[in-house]
Amino acid sequence: MSRARSLLARLFSRRRTNTHGHERSIYVNTPLPASHTDSLPHYAPNQIRTAKYTVLSFVPKNLLEQFRRAANIYFLFLLILQFIPAVTTGLPGLSALALFTIIALTMIKDGYEDSKRSASDREANRARAVVLGQEWVNVNKAPAHAMRPRGLMRLVGSDSGAGGSVGGAVPGAAPQAVHTRTQPQFDVVRDMDIDGDSWAITEWRHIHVGDIVLLREGDSVPADLVLLGSSDPDGTCFVETKNLDGETNLKSKHAPAATLHMTCPQQLSAFRCIIDAEPPSTLLYSFKGSIQIIDSNDRDPLGVDNLLLRGSVLRNTQWVTGVVVFTGDETKIMMNAGETPSKRSRIERMMNYQVMSQFALLFALCLLSAILGGVYYSRANSFQALFIVPFETSSGKSAPLYGFLTFWTALILYQTVVPISLYVTIEVVKSFQAYFINQDMDMYYAPAERRCVPKSWNLSDDLGQV
């Protein structure tokens, strides 16, 4: 049962469960104590997924979202009534066709929209970064077999099947630097005038807690890092955090005094320290930790000024180095992003209230028809009844029963009071509107060669409400 519940939780949630609400110790060039080996596989991978659906959850989850509409529930109820011989007025298949058309069109639209999130996720996950590599070993990294998803889980949550974005206009969108610079690493190596063999080029999704990362000006930070050093002799760097908090002014970050002297990969490879960090949290402006230098046994405190957050961009600084402390879903930007919501526009919310008022009118009409039908049936021959209802009773006539069945028959006949074609039209209009927004050259961003991409088609009509 526990495995079944775990599978269902993974099926309907893109976010991995945060099971490590405790402090962590990160060992750099220091043997890992035996007491810490058990916690290694539980560090979140740096691969992120902001798409709402997975391969397995798409159909059930999308159906649940669609039936939040009062009209869809109403049409489904009418379809069920059509299968009752005593009240049906036609072929049930014709009623089912209209409802299935709405559901299918909406499902296609939502699937295409989410596929764009998946593509953006893959782009962010496959963005390249420079880490200290070759001969250097990250002792905090879990064995490959411990991090590999197994069986059905691989299909449910793997990056090959679903994805979405980080930073940018929508929480989790791919950072702008990912689009504007796809190969920053080689310039970094030349700018620092160091031996390229000491560094390894890897993808963001392959970055682990404890890796030492090298960034240059204009690069997006791939994970939450503790700053070790920078091109500035004082260990200062500047970052842009508009992807995190919307602020365009630059913020200064500082390396701990004990690590200022490390300006080459050889020093980083020999430097021994233990970084103690607080549990992952959503607080962007708070961080508590410490760094212990093994050789000198000194311990310096760490604060938010020593932390580079994923999604921020390095500015006005040639290069920086840092140790990864939080990855993937444990980074502050991802913890603040939360689940990708199923947003509804103002028009859709307003339509729900209007449909409810139409239900009241429809109920009144059906009730009036049922009362008049029962009265007319009791006074006239059954073949002259208001509606021909295929039923017989032991007494030959039953006005209350006829009135009851007339109510449900009238509900089917008067169903056009709530126009099903309206929802089909709205879905088609939203699709064309998103297309025209994408093709609008006035919103084309030439430096990155990117068009405007609507992140949520359901909200495009809200632009007319401003």
Residues 178-216 pLDDT 10s: 444 434 444 444 445 444 577 889 999 999 998 999 999
- Residue 44 or 42, more confident: 44
Q: Of 337, 367, 395, which marks where a domain is finished?
A: 337
Whether 89 and 142 share a structural domain: no
- Report yes or no on whether pTM surpasses 0.75: no
- Tell how far CA 22 is from the center of its chain: 25
DSSP character at residue 139: T
The predicted pLDDT at position 74 comes to 84
124-181 pLDDT per residue, tens:
999 999 998 767 888 888 766 555 444 333 444 444 433 333 333 323 334 444 444 4
Contacts (Cβ under 8 Å, ≥6 apart) of 227: 235, 237, 253, 254, 255, 256, 306, 307, 308, 320, 321, 322
Whether 132 and 246 share a structural domain: yes
Whether 359 and 242 share a structural domain: no
**Residue 221 placed within a domain:** yes
**Residue 2 placed within a domain:** no
% of the chain surpassing 70 pLDDT? 75
Exposure string of 380-406, with b = 16+ CB inside 10 Å and e = fewer, is eeeeebbbebeeeeeeeebbeebbbbb
The predicted pLDDT at position 351 comes to 80
Contacts (Cβ under 8 Å, ≥6 apart) of 58: 111, 114
Q: Are 181 and 130 in contact (CB under 8 A)?
A: no
Q: Are 420 and 149 in contact (CB under 8 A)?
A: no
The predicted pLDDT at position 185 comes to 41
**Residue 95 placed within a domain:** yes
3-12, 139-148, 421-430: which range is least confident on average? 3-12
Q: Are 29 and 272 in contact (CB under 8 A)?
A: yes
Give one DSSP letter per residue of 197-246, joined into a string: GGEEEEEGGG--TT-EEEEETTPBP-SEEEEEEESSTT-EEEEE-HHHHS
Mean pLDDT of the chain: 77
Nearest to 208 by CA among 222, 192, 219, 194: 222
User: What is the rounded average pLDDT of the residues 223-234?
Assistant: 92
The predicted pLDDT at position 437 comes to 82
Q: Does the pLDDT value for residue 395 go beyond 50?
A: no
Q: Does the pLDDT value for residue 394 go beyond 70?
A: no
**Residue 122 placed within a domain:** no
| C-alpha to C-alpha distances, 13 to 16, 53, 54, 159, 420, nearest whole angstrom | 8, 8, 9, 14, 31
Whether 38 and 86 share a structural domain: no
**Residue 3 placed within a domain:** no
- Residue 48 or 463, more confident: 48
CA dist., res. 317 & res. 219, Å (int): 10
Owning domain of residue 232 = 17-46+128-147+161-337
**Residue 53 placed within a domain:** no
Whether 172 and 311 share a structural domain: yes
Q: Which two tokens stand for residue 300?
A: 């310096």
CA dist., res. 161 & res. 167, Å (int): 21
CA dist., res. 406 & res. 384, Å (int): 14
Q: β-pairing, 251-254 with 236-240?
A: antiparallel
The number of distinct structural domains making up the chain is 2
Q: Of 310, 337, 364, which marks where a domain is finished?
A: 337
User: What is the rounded average pLDDT of the residues 223-232?
Assistant: 92
80-89, 114-123, 250-259, 451-460: which range is least confident on average? 451-460
399-412 pLDDT per residue, tens:
888 888 889 888 88
**Residue 5 placed within a domain:** no
Q: Does the pLDDT value for residue 423 go beyond 50?
A: yes
CA dist., res. 69 & res. 66, Å (int): 6
Nearest to 423 by CA among 360, 364, 354, 359: 354
User: What is the rounded average pLDDT of the residues 221-232?
Assistant: 93
Whether 229 and 358 share a structural domain: no
Whether 318 and 183 share a structural domain: yes
The enclosing domain of 210 has a CATH number of 2.70.150.10
Q: Of 300, 318, 337, which marks where a domain is finished?
A: 337
Q: Are 38 and 144 in contact (CB under 8 A)?
A: no
Whether 190 and 304 share a structural domain: yes
C-alpha gyration radius of the chain? 30
CA dist., res. 159 & res. 292, Å (int): 36
Alpha helices in 238-345 (DSSP H): 242-245, 265-270, 332-337
User: Which residues are paired to 25 by β-bridges?
Assistant: 276
**Residue 306 placed within a domain:** yes
Whether 141 and 104 share a structural domain: no
Look at residue 175 and give its three-state secondary structure: coil
- Residue 376 or 148, more confident: 376
Whether 111 and 136 share a structural domain: no
Q: Are 138 and 211 in contact (CB under 8 A)?
A: yes
73-77, 108-112, 145-149: which range is least confident on average? 145-149
- Residue 351 or 64, more confident: 64
| C-alpha to C-alpha distances, 288 to 23, 259, 302, 330, nearest whole angstrom | 10, 18, 6, 15
Q: Are 87 and 408 in contact (CB under 8 A)?
A: yes
Residue 216: CB atoms within 10 Å: 21
Q: Are 246 and 167 in contact (CB under 8 A)?
A: no
Q: Are 98 and 164 in contact (CB under 8 A)?
A: no
Whether 95 and 66 share a structural domain: yes
Q: Are 409 and 360 in contact (CB under 8 A)?
A: no
Give one DSSP letter per residue of 394-461, joined into a string: TTS--HHHHHHHHHHHHHHHTGGGS-HHHHHHHHHHHHHHHHHHHH-GGG-BTTTTB----S-GGGGG
Whether 247 and 318 share a structural domain: yes
CA dist., res. 41 & res. 267, Å (int): 28
313-366 pLDDT per residue, tens:
999 999 999 999 999 999 999 988 866 666 677 777 788 788 888 888 999 999
Q: Mutual orientation of helices 420-439 and 92-125 as an angle, nearest 10°?
A: 30
